[in-house]
Amino acid sequence: MKTETLVNSGEQIREGLSEFTDKVKGLSDDVTDLWQTARADAGRSARRAKIAAEERIAETRHRIKSHPLSSVAIMASGAFLLGGLVGLIVAKNHR
């Protein structure tokens, strides 16, 4: 009687461990798939961002070459405004 109970208990433990192992393997496979998908998506997004940035740089170069005086005037006014803003902030902090 006790021997049968021990044998049945051992078989149940083996079956439980086997099921648990299968579930862990399935979970590991799912996590691996999700990781690979996320990695591929991140790579695609990085490539798209790089292409978009390169296109914007090319467009900016074209605009600067097409209108050099306007570009210099815009940069000078931006620098003047930024310098004035920094000067106001520094003067306000020294009071």
Full domain range(s) for residue 52: 2-67
Within-domain flag for 94: no
Q: pLDDT tens, 10-50?
A: 788 888 888 888 888 889 999 999 999 999 999 999 999 99
The answer on pLDDT for 75 being more than 90 is yes
Q: Per-residue confidence at 6, pLDDT binned at 50, 70, 90? A: low
Within-domain flag for 36: yes
Within-domain flag for 63: yes
Residue 42 structure tokens? 């991140």
- Answer yes or no: pTM beyond 0.75: no
Within-domain flag for 53: yes
Within-domain flag for 80: no
Cβ–Cβ < 8 Å for 71, 64: yes
Within-domain flag for 16: yes
Within-domain flag for 74: no
Euclidean distance between CA atoms 70 and 64, whole angstroms: 8
Residue 95, helix vs strand vs coil: coil
> Domain tally for the chain?
1
